């Protein structure tokens, strides 16, 4: 794996976490030009690229790599969070986009999903009860409660709602959801996610302050 990140302290934390727990071999580059040279020499199985780097930014680096390689997964790391930046990242061939400061467990899950590796239970965030506006979502029981009313959720509804809660007020990218819950990102499965999102919207409609919005071509955002 190639990690292009100019924040050396952060790069070392990521490297130590992945190498100690998942037996990755990580090569760090602190500049875009250096990362491109390492890519050509090593042909890593996944690229994690900081967007803002000296000499060559992550977007430019990804564009150059995608001219010769359309298969190797790319995850962008960035402090920038505008929708335009998200769209740019995906248009340049990025597979995922993670905003700093991110949870290390979330990065690990996304890397494993893109590499089609199994995600162990201990690698997933442990929150089990979420507050969604006036609702209480109890993930283990797969229930959604408001006032004295409790509604049961299907397994898929609960899994998707949990991921939305973990990314509340941020973008939940569609592709990692498909890979994690369905195992592939086919068009048919993508349409299935849309159906479940519609069902969740109906179940959350009692609180108008809660919204699940589509980020076209990217994914969804739970606004609470």
Q: Can you give the pLDDT at residue 116? A: 67
pLDDT band at 61 (very low <50, low <70, confident <90, very high): very high
pLDDT at 114 over 50: yes
The reply to whether the predicted model has a pTM over 0.85 is: no
Point out the least confidently predicted range of 98-102, 122-126, 152-156, 183-187: 122-126
Provide CB contacts within 8 A for 209, sequence distance 6+: 133, 134, 224
CA distance 191 to 87: 20
pLDDT at 125 over 70: no
CA distance 25 to 20: 10
- More confident: 9 or 21: 9
Q: How does DSSP classify residue 190? A: H
pLDDT average, residue stretch 21-32: 86
């Amino acid at each position: 794996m190639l990690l292009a990140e100019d924040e050396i302290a952060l790069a070392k934390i990521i490297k130590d976490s992945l190498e100690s727990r998942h037996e990755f071999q990580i090569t760090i580059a602190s500049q875009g030009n250096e990362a491109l040279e390492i890519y050509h020499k090593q042909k890593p199985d996944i690229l994690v690229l900081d967007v803002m780097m000296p000499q060559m930014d992550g977007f430019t680096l990804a564009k150059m790599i995608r001219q010769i390689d359309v298969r190797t997964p790319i995850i962008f790391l960035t402090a920038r969070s505008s929708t335009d930046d998200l769209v740019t990242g995906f248009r340049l061939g990025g597979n995922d986009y993670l905003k700093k400061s991110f949870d290390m467990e979330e990065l690990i899950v996304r890397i494993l999903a893109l590499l089609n590796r199994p995600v162990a239970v201990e690698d997933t965030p442990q929150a089990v009860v979420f507050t969604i506006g006036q609702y209480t979502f109890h993930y283990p029981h797969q229930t959604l409660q408001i006032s004295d009313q409790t509604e049961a959720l299907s397994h898929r509804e609960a899994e998707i709602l949990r991921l939305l809660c973990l990314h509340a007020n941020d973008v939940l990218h569609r592709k990692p959801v498909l890979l994690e819950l369905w195992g592939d990102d086919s068009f048919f499965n993508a349409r299935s996610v849309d159906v479940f999102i519609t069902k969740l919207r109906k179940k959350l409609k009692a609180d108008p302050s809660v919204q699940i919005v589509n980020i076209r071509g990217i994914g969804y955002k739970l606004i609470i």
